[in-house]
């Protein structure tokens, strides 16, 4: 699930994307959708805390999901379990007054329903692909998320990234090729779904940031309004509580249509034990924790900083998976992993330098 790098943490609210209008003019930069533009020292510590917490939950759930899917090969049902835990947890927090839900118009509620479909498909595709490929393969392809962030910025907002940032993605692209070379455990469907999951994760990250951001005259305007959600300034827990019930209904429907529910019923009669039920429950609780941390960190840091945190998680995911699941990595695969992760770190460094105003092109 989806889908990065230590100090200092970079906020994409300060990330400037160059827009090339007239070659004779200096590059103009417009910020990606974001919330906070500057941080006090105390806010930086808080931001670092949420990013580290996001990293730990993300890493733990990725490895846990892979282990669960080996013995419980029902990705849609697992996703429904995650959404169900998110629904119950969100309602408990709402009842305790942890957050106040926003009052939305019918059009805004419709936009959230549309976003919930993306939210559900993103989680489901990630779980399905994780069941078809190895963890290293899954995580290395996910490390290409910055590529899709940049392409989506061009498509959605007409923005262009600097030459330094584009060059830093070359090792990422080459690394994905080397890392997946000879991985015969990867099926064609597994490859397609993993790449699709990476694209969906990038879209979801950007859209989540937009939904939680405040409308501003300086915000970049989308090329096509109907494919970009409105800026609703939603509290992270408010967004989670609205998304989870819709995701649960959609996942149960997918499980029914694909015949997975009948297989789950058979499995539960033959193999379900109290220990397995407990492990599934703990998995759902971790997923709920990740959702809270993910939405909160996304609001504070933004999509690009979240991508940096994910790359750090991908490093440990690969090595932990090799140990836990006794996988074999060839020298070519190892080179690809190194190139991909190095490219991700280089990208993050360029992002920070551009924020500091040291590189303009």
Confidence of residue 43 (pLDDT cuts 50, 70, 90): low
The predicted structure's pLDDT at residue 293: 83
Instruction: Quote the pLDDT of residue 13.
Output: 34
Rounded to two decimals, the pTM is 0.64
3-state secondary structure of 18: strand
What b-and-e string marks burial along 208-219, b requiring 16 or more CB atoms within 10 Å of the CB?
Answer: bbbbbbeeeeeb
Residue 299: pLDDT above 80?
Answer: no
Please tell me the chain's helix, strand, coil percentages from 3-state DSSP, rounded to the nearest 5.
Answer: 70, 0, 25
To the nearest whole percent, how much of the chain has pLDDT over 90? 12
Helix axes 236-257, 75-95, angle to 10 degrees: 150
CA distance 323 to 14: 39
pLDDT band for position 59 (cuts 50, 70, 90): confident
Highest mean pLDDT among 1-5, 243-247, 262-266, 321-325: 262-266
The per-residue pLDDT for range 208-220, each reduced to its tens digit, is 888 888 877 777 7
Please say whether the beta carbons of 34 and 13 come within 8 A.
yes
**Lowest-confidence pick of 71-85, 214-228, 237-251, 271-285:** 214-228
- pLDDT tens digits for range 99-158: 889 899 998 999 899 888 888 888 788 878 877 887 767 767 777 777 787 888 788 877
Percentage of the chain modeled with pLDDT above 70: 75
Return the top range by mean pLDDT from 139-148, 188-197, 295-304.
188-197
CA atoms within 13 A on the CB side of 331: 0
Mean pLDDT of the chain, nearest integer: 75
Residue 71 CA to residue 61 CA, distance in Å, equals 15
pLDDT at 263: 94
Predicted confidence at residue 356, as pLDDT, reads: 65
CA distances to 50, 115, 212 from 16, rounded to whole Å, are 23, 26, 19
Q: pLDDT band at residue 76, thresholds of 50, 70 and 90?
A: confident
Q: How far apart are CA 80 and CA 73, in angstroms?
A: 13
Averaged pLDDT, 76-104: 89
> Is pLDDT above 90 for 265?
yes
CB 310 within 8 A of CB 290: no
- Per DSSP, 217 falls in state T
Q: Is the dihedral of CA 224, 200, 204, 38 positive or negative?
A: negative
Q: What is the pLDDT of residues 17-34, one digit of tens each?
A: 333 333 333 333 334 444
pLDDT reported for residue 144: 75
Read off the pLDDT band of 185 (50, 70, 90). Answer: low
Q: Which carries the bigger pLDDT value, residue 125 or residue 301?
A: 125
Q: How confident is the model at residue 5 (pLDDT cuts 50, 70, 90)?
A: very low
Least confident of 19-28, 64-73, 166-175: 19-28
pLDDT score for 307? 65
- Confidence label for 249 from pLDDT (cuts 50, 70 and 90): very high
Q: What is the pLDDT of residue 264?
A: 94
pLDDT class of 311 with cuts at 50, 70, 90: low
């Amino acid at each position: 699930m989806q889908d990065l790098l230590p100090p200092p943490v970079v906020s994409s609210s300060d990330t400037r994307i160059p827009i090339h209008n007239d070659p004779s003019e200096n590059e103009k930069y417009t910020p990606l959708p974001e919330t906070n533009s500057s941080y006090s020292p105390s806010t930086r510590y808080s931001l670092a805390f949420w990013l580290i917490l996001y990293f730990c939950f993300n890493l733990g759930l990725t490895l846990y999901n892979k282990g669960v899917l080996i013995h419980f090969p029902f990705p849609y049902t697992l996703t429904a379990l995650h959404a169900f835990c998110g629904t119950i947890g969100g309602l408990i927090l709402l009842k305790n007054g942890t957050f106040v839900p926003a009052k939305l118009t019918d059009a805004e509620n419709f936009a959230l329903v549309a976003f919930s479909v993306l939210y559900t498909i993103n989680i489901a595709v990630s779980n399905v692909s994780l069941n078809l490929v190895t963890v290293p393969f899954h995580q290395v392809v996910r490390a290409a998320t910055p590529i899709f962030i940049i392409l989506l910025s061009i498509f959605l907002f007409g923005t262009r990234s600097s030459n330094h940032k584009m060059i830093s993605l070359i090792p990422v692209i080459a690394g994905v090729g080397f890392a997946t070379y000879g991985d015969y455990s990867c099926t064609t469907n597994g490859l397609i779904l993993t790449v699709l999951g990476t694209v969906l994760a990038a879209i979801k990250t950007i859209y989540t940031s937009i939904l939680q951001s405040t409308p501003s005259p300086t915000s970049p305007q989308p090329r096509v309004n109907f494919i970009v959600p409105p800026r609703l300034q939603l509290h992270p827990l408010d967004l989670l509580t609205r998304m989870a019930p819709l995701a649960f209904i959609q996942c149960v429907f997918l499980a029914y249509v694909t015949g997975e529910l009948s297989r789950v019923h058979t499995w539960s009669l033959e193999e379900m034990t109290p220990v397995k039920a407990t492990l599934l429950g703990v998995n759902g609780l971790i997923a709920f924790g990740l959702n809270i941390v993910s939405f909160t960190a996304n609001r504070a840091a933004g999509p690009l900083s979240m991508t940096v945190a994910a790359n750090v998680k991908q490093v440990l995911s690969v090595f932990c998976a090799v140990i836990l699941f006794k996988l074999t990595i060839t020298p070519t695969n190892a080179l690809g992993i190194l190139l991909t992760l190095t490219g991700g770190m280089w990208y993050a460094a360029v992002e920070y330098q551009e924020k500091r105003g040291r590189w303009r092109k």
